[in-house]
Amino acid sequence: HSCGHSYHYAQKTAYEQILRGLNLSRKIKYTVSAGQDGIKILTFLKKEKGYSQRLITKLKKEDDGILLNGEHARSIDFVHTGDILEINFPEDREEGISVSLEMPLDILYEDEDIIVINKPAPLAVHESHNHLGDALSNALSYHLKQEGKQSVFRAVGRLDKGTSGIMVCALNRYAASKLSGKIGKVYLAVASGVFTGSGTVDSPIYRPDPILTLRTVDPRGEKAVTHWTALKNNGICTLLEIRLETGRTHQIRVHFASLGAPLVGDTMYGKSDPRISHQALHCYKCSFIHPVTEKKMKFTAEPPEDFRAVMPK
């Protein structure tokens, strides 16, 4: 299991430059149903399948972007029952990640369009000046290349460094646009205060200094709503189940700190704890509709050892 600090021991020698311009595309085939007979391809893609205008415009520029029964088609052409509409995505020739890193990943699910990962807390999602070469993006890029997939991906609803749990990454633009804002997540957190029952924190979150990541509750901020249910307390701290209505940066951490009950181990908004090296926050449930198959997807990931160590017994 890739929890804890295994990422430190990942072979640093496994760095390799990403093959620039590696261009693997994704094909999706649709069969037109009777209820869709006689509509334009544009309507089919936008209304029936949720494609953005931007993506359709991109597809139109590709020779085989839109094929109807194997022939090049225009977005103004009509489809009929039983037709096969094939979409070929131009893949992203955008800048690769600087290095890829071989390390064990806890992959909960993977197909052509998405990959669902249980992220260890110490890992940052994207590279930054602090995390060059040791971010989740580096490990994921290595994994995707091993499988012959292109290494451009988009984290949909990313988790802070220090937060563990389920994270969904889209492997193409279509999946990313369909999933954006549509992922239901349930978090577990340990707050340093006593809570019972359930409640909602509805307090705007503000970033006072554009340089610092620090956030605070302030009327000048953006609307932020957090729903919580107390699961267990020991008179000192409480295990909470949390659902977010908005997804502001550091939202859960800032909201509980504003109640005088920062998350255990959160050195930015509270104080350190010898048992855990980061905030006690874990995304343990996640559900969404698959962008292509339209099946309901549900995942659960148990909290890691250090999180369990600070849970009220």
Domains and CATH numbers, the chain: 27-88 (3.10.290.10), 93-179 (3.30.2350.10), 184-310 (3.30.2350.10)
- Annotated catalytic residue, options 92, 160, 266, 273: 160
CA distance 102 to 104: 7
Q: Is 160 a catalytic residue?
A: yes
Which parts of the chain register pLDDT below 70? 1-25, 90-102, 123-135, 150-153
Task: Name the CA radius of gyration of the chain, rounded.
Answer: 22
Check residue 130 and give its pLDDT.
46
pLDDT at 101: 64
pLDDT at position 60 is 85
**What order of strands is seen across the sheet that includes strand 84-88?**
27-31, 84-88, 66-68, 71-72
Nearest to 154 by CA among 103, 94, 106: 94
Chain mean position to CA 34 = 35
pLDDT tens digit sequence for 66-94: 999 988 889 899 999 999 999 887 665 54
Count the helix, strand and coil residues of the chain and give each as a percent rounded to the nearest 5.
Answer: 20, 30, 50
Identify the pLDDT of residue 244.
94
Instruction: Give Cβ neighbours of residue 269 (< 8 Å, ≥ 6 apart).
Output: 250, 253, 254, 256, 257, 262, 263, 279
pLDDT tens string 177-211: 888 788 999 999 999 999 999 999 999 999 999 88
